[in-house]
A and B are shown apart, each in its own frame.
Chain A
Amino acid sequence: MEKILVGLKRVVDYNVRVQVKRDGSGVETDGVKMSINPFDEIALEEALRIRERGEASEVIVVSIGSAESQQQLRTGLAMGADRAILVETDTSTDPLTAARIFKTIIDRENAELVILGKQAIDDDNSQTGQMLAAIWGRPQATFASEVSFDGNTARVTREVDIGLETIEIDLPAVITVDLRLNEPRYVKLPDIMKAKKKPLDQLSFAELGVEPAPGIKELAFEPPEARQRGIMVEDVAGLVAALKDKGLV
């Protein structure tokens, strides 16, 4: 295939202990470390491996977000992507609108495969890939833990609740990736230098002609109800006694 599109979302790093703002208007992001959504990094790694096997010729990373998302795109270029596209917006983008944006880019680029993370670890929505496949009228292979190609079909193993399911899909298609698909490569310093010269195009919603989808209103953010720290027992006898006390054994 010719081109693979990969989505890279800028999110609060997975190691950060996220705090809800006092006024309930959102979560604290000031001075907080931001990174590529970990699933998206895996998506990019897979795309690069497909290209390196000679099964695709170009990998394009796409981010929808603030100007700062350029950092994540540059990291993606340093990992090995050929080009980057930033669709700039200062507000957060809902999954259906994001899917519509990807669809317009697919059309512009004639992409045959889109690889996305199975979810972003900020909203935990897990929707964009499925929605993109729907409006494109093409197959979706979600939660992928193994991907291989045979001509115009892909064979994808998916992590489902009862184990591993394998499906076969015709290209073009959307794949969303799970954690065990691969281990993303580390970026080396010379690659970061090289990445600075790679093209990064900026596009706006208006240029793409995308109509935002009816949004879901975010009314209030709250911290979760905390579980109370319980008791510590000294030994196995104490543990068994505590379990008996609760009627659990």
Chain B
Amino acid sequence: MSKVLVIAEHNGTALNQSTAKCVACAKQIEGAEVDVAVFAASASSIAAEAAEISGVDRVLVLEREENDPAIAAVLAPQIAALASGYSHVFGPSTAFGKDVMPRVAALLGVNQISDIMRVEGTYRFRRPIYAGNAILTVEAPAEATVVATVRTASYQAADGGNTAAIENVSADAELPTHTRFVGVQTGQSDRPDLQTAAKVVSGGRALGSADNFGLIYKLADKLGAAIGSSRAAVDAGYVPPETQVGQTGQIIAPDLYIAIGISGAIQHITGIKDAGTIVAINKDEEAPIFEVSDIGLVGDLFNIVPELTDALN
């Protein structure tokens, strides 16, 4: 029988929604038993949240000072030690999971399956390659532990309402001191979070300046939307890097995505393929973004966006 260990992602106090998405993916493996492991300095509130995720059998708590903030080189040997007894170890395909999971895989002597978008069987999965321009079906060897990351945009978070058992466990591992956390700088505002927002308003190079991005913020505020951007807008310094959507930014699946002054390069599109409705506003009717948008409007954003913001009163 399959036993899946899901590595919880959290910020030290609260669970990240990516964890419930990993559980949803893990539950697609037939007959799988799913445990969630919480590595933290102080885990009680996080573990309580994890215990509510439907489909979770047990929440394993590994409390150690060194586990907060999360450092891949510190977590990986503990995860690898805990992995024995599990057929699969899953983490989210977020910056956290992408950092730590391959390190776990290497310690276990296996390759990783990155970005599972669909479970086809116990060892068989589908994943995107070439920025989503091809979908590859892969099969991991059955005799080894399957280590994988889950493409969070492909899954709905598993429901709540569960009361899984919470157990303290320990992992026998020597922890390195060669890697030290210094600090984190976050431009986070009280705006909705890009990963989980139902609506996202995204601006591109065409905005031309950080000041002009104010137009995007105003529309987003009207809609209660999160802010997204293209790489060109980030590189130009109009918006902070954590707003970037795409192959090398965030992969998201909001109900509504409004792309404003974004041409629609494949590296950008790959970040929004699973969005419900894509709206494109661009002055070039030939822009590739229109090939994937559900509603398109050709015109100058500097006229359209203020008008749209007003019209939504």
A→B interface (CB under 8 Å)? 12, 14, 17-20, 27, 94-96, 99, 118-119, 121-135, 137-143, 145, 155, 158-170, 173, 178-180, 213-224, 227-240, 242-243, 246, 248-249
Q: Is the CB of A95 within 8 A of B112?
A: yes
Knowing A165-B184, A180-B234, A216-B111, the reply to whether A233 touches B135 (Cβ < 8 A) is: no
B295 at the interface (CB under 8 A from A): yes
B20 at the interface (CB under 8 A from A): no
B→A interface (CB under 8 Å)? 11, 71-73, 76, 94-96, 98-107, 109-115, 124, 128-141, 144, 176, 178-188, 195, 199, 223, 231, 234-235, 240-242, 247-248, 250, 255-256, 266-267, 273, 277-279, 290-299, 304, 307-308, 311-312
Knowing A213-B109, A223-B134, the reply to whether A170 touches B114 (Cβ < 8 A) is: no
Q: Is the CB of B133 within 8 A of A224?
A: yes
Q: How far is the CB of A121 from chain B (nearest CB, A)?
A: 7
Q: How far is the CB of B309 from chain A (nearest CB, A)?
A: 10
Knowing A18-B133, A159-B241, A224-B134, the reply to whether A214 touches B106 (Cβ < 8 A) is: no
Q: Is the CB of A224 within 8 A of B273?
A: yes
Q: How far is the CA of A22 from the CA of B311 in the complex (A)?
A: 48
Select B135's contact among A119, A222, A237, beta carbons within 8 Å.
A222
Q: Is the CB of B178 within 8 A of A139?
A: yes
Give 6 closest A-B pairs by Cβ, nearest first. A163-B186, A230-B294, A134-B106, A131-B106, A130-B102, A127-B102
Residues of A within 8 A of B136 (CB): 218-222
Q: Is the CB of B295 within 8 A of A242?
A: yes
Q: How far is the CB of A32 from chain B (nearest CB, A)?
A: 11
Q: Is the CB of A142 within 8 A of B139?
A: no
Q: How far is the CB of A200 from chain B (nearest CB, A)?
A: 28
Select B114's contact among A125, A129, A135, A213, beta carbons within 8 Å.
A125
Q: Is the CB of B308 within 8 A of A240?
A: yes
Q: Is the CB of B103 within 8 A of A230?
A: no
Q: Is the CB of B267 within 8 A of A14?
A: yes
| A246 and chain B: residue at smallest CB distance | B277
Q: Is the CB of B114 within 8 A of A164?
A: no
Knowing A96-B111, A126-B102, A142-B98, the reply to whether A163 touches B124 (Cβ < 8 A) is: no
Q: Is the CB of B72 within 8 A of A124?
A: no
Q: Is the CB of B102 within 8 A of A131?
A: yes
Not counting A125-B114, A139-B179, a sample of 14 additional A-B residue pairs whose C-beta atoms are within 8 angstroms of each other reads A12-B130, A19-B133, A27-B133, A124-B128, A127-B105, A127-B111, A130-B100, A134-B104, A164-B186, A165-B183, A165-B185, A214-B109, A215-B111, A236-B311
Q: How far is the CB of B275 from chain A (nearest CB, A)?
A: 9
Residues of B within 8 A of A216 (CB): 111, 113, 138-141
Q: Is the CB of B98 within 8 A of A224?
A: no
Q: Is the CB of A126 within 8 A of B98?
A: yes
23 A-B pairs within 8 Å (CB atoms) are namely A18-B131, A27-B133, A124-B114, A125-B114, A127-B111, A129-B102, A133-B103, A142-B72, A160-B96, A164-B185, A164-B241, A167-B182, A213-B110, A215-B141, A216-B113, A219-B124, A224-B133, A227-B292, A230-B294, A236-B308, A240-B308, A243-B256, A249-B223
Most buried by B among A96, A143, A155, A169: A96
Q: How far is the CA of A27 from the CA of B72 in the complex (A)?
A: 33
